[in-house]
Chains A and B, each alone.
Chain A
Amino acid sequence: NAGVMQNPRHLVRRRGQEARLRCSPMKGHSHVYWYRQLPEEGLKFMVYLQKENIIDESGMPKERFSAEFPKEGPSILRIQQVVRGDSAAYFCASSGPPRGSGYGYTFGSGTRLTVV
């Protein structure tokens, strides 16, 4: 499967634990984006990364959330000390080099985080 791979598909964490969400981009893609979908809402941008660089994190909450895309391995979205309000679907997408507004992403299938 050459698509965007996210794991796990479902993740349950107790309040106060850490959640780690992984995303492997499509082959040949070096640009990764994370989005969050709260219940009954559309996707909201969180962060845009290239290998070893955070390009735009304007949508990331200021505390407890971090993201990385190391030289080797998948991109990781880390949520520390999770709270019930973090329960959502987290989508990763990847693309080739941006070309204005006309290019699209390929989305992964998402990770559904439930905080109990």
Chain B
Amino acid sequence: AQKITQTQPGMFVQEKEAVTLDCTYDTSDQSYGLFWYKQPSSGEMIFLIYQGSYDEQNATEGRYSLNFQKARKSANLVISASQLGDSAMYFCAMRGSNTGNQFYFGTGTSLTVIP
């Protein structure tokens, strides 16, 4: 079975500080992909970053980086230098090579950036 767990319903961070959003996963697939999406109050789903299970380097995209610890089955999102526009819901998601038709999403973390 595939499962994504996000244990932080809500997080606060001071503007310009870094913040880590937690994500753990469970899968029996040997090959899988991990994704983070941002959902602002307007509702759309915005792709942020991707990590493949065989990638040796942690993924980075601008101010976003993914702290991938395979043995711990964790894929935490790190946002550096937080901005007010980062306030949104953040969803961790996974797709396995044997269940490639669908993503499994966590329940999300609501991030609020404080000026």
Residues of A within 8 A of B (CB): 33, 35, 40-45, 48, 55-56, 58-59, 89, 91, 93, 98, 100-110, 112
Q: Does B44 make an interface contact (CB < 8 A)?
A: yes
Chain B contact residue count (CB 8 A cutoff): 30
A–B Cβ pairs within 8 angstroms, 9 of them: A41-B107, A42-B105, A44-B105, A101-B33, A101-B97, A102-B33, A102-B50, A104-B35, A107-B47
Q: Chain A residues near B42: list those with CB within 8 A.
A: 109
Instruction: Determine whether the beta carbon of A101 is less than 8 Å from that of B101.
Output: no
- How distant is the Cα of A101 from the Cα of B46 in the complex, in angstroms? 19
Closest to A112 in B: B43
Q: Chain B residues near A59: list those with CB within 8 A.
A: 102
Q: Chain B residues near A93: list those with CB within 8 A.
A: 45
The one of B52, B53, B96, B103 in contact with A43, judged by C-beta atoms closer than 8 angstroms, is B103
Instruction: Determine whether the beta carbon of B101 is less than 8 Å from that of A55.
Output: yes
Digit string of B89-115 for contact with A (CB within 8 Å is 1, else 0)? 001010111001111111110000000
- How distant is the Cα of A110 from the Cα of B37 in the complex, in angstroms? 14
The one of A56, A102, A107 in contact with B45, judged by C-beta atoms closer than 8 angstroms, is A107
- How distant is the Cα of A40 from the Cα of B47 in the complex, in angstroms? 19
Closest to A111 in B: B43
With A101-B29, A102-B50, A110-B45 known, 18 other A-B pairs at CB within 8 A are A33-B102, A35-B103, A41-B108, A42-B107, A43-B45, A48-B101, A56-B101, A56-B102, A58-B102, A59-B102, A100-B31, A100-B97, A101-B32, A101-B96, A102-B52, A105-B47, A107-B44, A109-B42
